[in-house]
Structures are given as C-alpha cells and as structure tokens.
C-alpha cells in the first residue's frame, strides 16, 4: 500500500453517489480514485489493478454488493483488501450480513463528512499495518531461508537436522568411516603466477565440481582447507559400499577437474577407520573430524602422485576385485610409521 497515494475503488450504480463520494474524498486528500457501476465491473478492475480500499454499495442491479463481497473474499488475491459497505440507514440487517461476510466497516447514506473521514482513515491504516506485517513476515522467511542455506553450506544435512531439533550437535565416535582428501598439485606455484581473482575463481570451480561428484556418490563434504578438499563416506548417513564410492568419486574428481579451465592435476588419498565428529564454535559453526584416521588420510594424499588415487591397505582390502591396484609397498608416513599404500585405477 502506498502511504502517499492509496488507491480506492468506488462501486455504486448511482452516478450521483459516486460523484458525491469522489468529491468528498478528494477534499480529504485522496486522488487515486477509480469508479465502477456494478459488481462485475468492480471485479474486472480488481483483477487488473491493485487497490487499497473498496467502497461497495449493497443494492446494485446485476451483481449486488453481497455477491461482489463473497467473490472477493473467496479470491486469495483479493480477500485481504478492506471493503467498506455503502448502505442506507434502514439496511442494518444487510450491513450485519456484510460484516459477517468479511466487510471491514460500513458507511450510511447520506454521507457524513466526519464519519467518512474516520472510517476510511481507519480502514486504510489497518491495511497499511497488515501490509507491513506481511512484509516483515516475508523478510523473516527470506532471512530464515538464508540461515538454512548457510547452515547447509557449513554442516552436513544430518547435523543441520539435529541442530534444528535439539539446538546442538552431540559429538560422537564413528567406526569404519572412509576419509578422502584431495588437493591440487603445484597449487602454491600456480598462485604465484596468476591473479588472485583468477585463482579464487578456478578454486571455486574445482570445489563446485568436487561437491557435485561427492553428492552423486553419497559422500559428505566436510570442509576445504586451502586447496585441499575433504569428504567422508559412511559418517552421518548410510552408503552401501563406502570404500568403493570413495575411490570412484576420487577417480572421477581427477578426471573432471583436469577438464576444467585451470586443467589442474589432483591427487587423492583415502583411509578408513574410527573418527570423532562434532560441531565447534558458537558464532560460526564448523563441523569437523578428529582422530588418527583423519591424520593418516592427510599423510596419504601427500604421498600420492599427480592424477592418482592412493589408498591404505585397509581400504584396498575392501575394494580389491573391483579396481585395479599397484602396491607402493610399505611407505613411511610422517609421524605415523610404515603403512602399505596402493595406487588405484
């Protein structure tokens, strides 16, 4: 509703009544006035023009005030427009019926200037407040959706559901979780040779691609750390073959990212084992994993060759027969000791 120029529709079959109302309303400062001579014309105008108030005569030929009011209140696009009924002083029962049908108020004929001013002003104020409330509610809904988007961008879906339900995400220990790390080969040197805008744009494109592949194989993205991308399988929701899904996702990530504009080589490291998972932070939520499994997976990716998926022996035992592999023998992982690693194809 416009605070400066509210739109008012005057519906009356009597031309003198319409003229009298129009003249008096203009004296009160209302200039955006439209006339209709019966209910059919009123509904036609309402269908094409937004109005803030309708002054509706009860007794009209063709489509009378009752029928017009009922039609407006049954139309979801029109039902909230306030309607003031115009009636003769001896039509009290008709006025009561109109109020029961949803009319805002009534104006008796002949028109009293003070009463006209008061009832139109009150109805327009109610409309303004309703519009304001609806605007606030829409804004709240927009902000709520924005918060939901941010939560889903920060936390896995299951964690978001638990946070909404309980206002917290309880830390848990999970067994047999597959942890996948991938990172860009030569990323530091690439940053030195390219503009920051180009680096961030290409990194965003890579992450988007990895997220799509992650979702397609049922993995869950945990976070990005610089140029590294971390995901899990079998953590917060069931994946039938988490090790198979992770290796397949890793191989597809390498192929897909190589075909992007930056033509980056990825290397992937995968391990399986127990992890502790939970949410930390109070102003900025971060869902994260801790434990030896995570540390080993991060060490494995550092040992991987460009464009290769390197998995630990425990992962290989779960996928052998469905992937080709080449043992790299016992590889000394920094701070973790020796572990057999296998290149997958």
Task: Supply the pLDDT for residue 315.
Answer: 97
Task: Supply the pLDDT for residue 150.
Answer: 64
Summarize the confidence of residues 59-72 as an average pLDDT: 91
Summarize the confidence of residues 314-333 as an average pLDDT: 93
Residue 10 and residue 19: Cα distance in Å, rounded? 10
Q: Are strands 172-184 and 266-280 parallel, antiparallel or unpaired?
A: antiparallel
Summarize the confidence of residues 62-85 as an average pLDDT: 91
| DSSP letter for each residue of 17-79 | HHHHHHHHHHHTT---EEEESSHHHHHHHHHHS--SEEEEESS-SSS-HHHHHHHHHHSTTTT
| Percentage above 90 pLDDT, the chain | 57
């Amino acid at each position: 509703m416009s605070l400066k120029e509210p739109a008012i529709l005057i519906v009356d079959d009597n031309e003198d009544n319409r003229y009298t109302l129009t003249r008096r309303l203009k004296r009160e400062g209302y200039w955006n006035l439209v006339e209709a001579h019966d209910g059919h014309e009123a509904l036609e105008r309402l269908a094409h023009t937004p109005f803030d108030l309708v002054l509706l005569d009860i007794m009209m030929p063709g489509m009378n005030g009752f029928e017009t009011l009922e039609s407006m209140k049954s139309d979801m696009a029109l039902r909230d427009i306030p309607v003031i009924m115009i009636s003769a002083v001896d039509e009290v029962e008709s006025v009561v019926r109109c109020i029961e049908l949803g009319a805002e108020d009534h104006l008796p004929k002949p028109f009293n200037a003070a009463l006209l001013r008061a009832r139109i002003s009150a109805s327009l104020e109610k409309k303004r407040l309703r519009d304001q409330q609806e605007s606030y509610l829409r804004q709240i809904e927009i902000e709520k959706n924005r918060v939901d988007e941010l939560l889903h961008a920060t936390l896995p879906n299951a964690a978001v559901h638990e946070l909404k339900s309980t206002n917290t995400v309880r830390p848990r220990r999970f067994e047999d979780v597959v942890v996948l790390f991938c990172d860009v080969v030569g990323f530091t040197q690439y940053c030195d040779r390219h503009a920051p805008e180009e680096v961030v744009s290409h990194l965003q494109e890579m992450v988007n691609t990895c997220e799509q592949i992650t979702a397609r194989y049922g993995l869950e993205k945990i976070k990005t750390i610089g140029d590294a991308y971390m995901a899990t399988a079998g953590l917060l929701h069931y994946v039938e073959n988490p090790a198979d899904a992770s290796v397949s996702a890793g191989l597809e990530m390498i192929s897909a990212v190589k075909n992007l504009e930056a033509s980056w080589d990825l290397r992937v490291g995968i391990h399986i084992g127990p992890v502790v998972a939970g949410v930390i932070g109070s102003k900025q939520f971060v869902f994260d994993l801790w434990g030896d499994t995570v540390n080993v997976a991060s060490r494995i990716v550092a040992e991987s060759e460009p464009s290769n998926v390197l998995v630990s022996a425990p992962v290989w035992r779960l996928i052998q027969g469905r992937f080709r592999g080449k043992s790299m023998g016992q590889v000394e992982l920094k701070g973790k000791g020796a572990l057999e690693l296998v290149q997958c194809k």
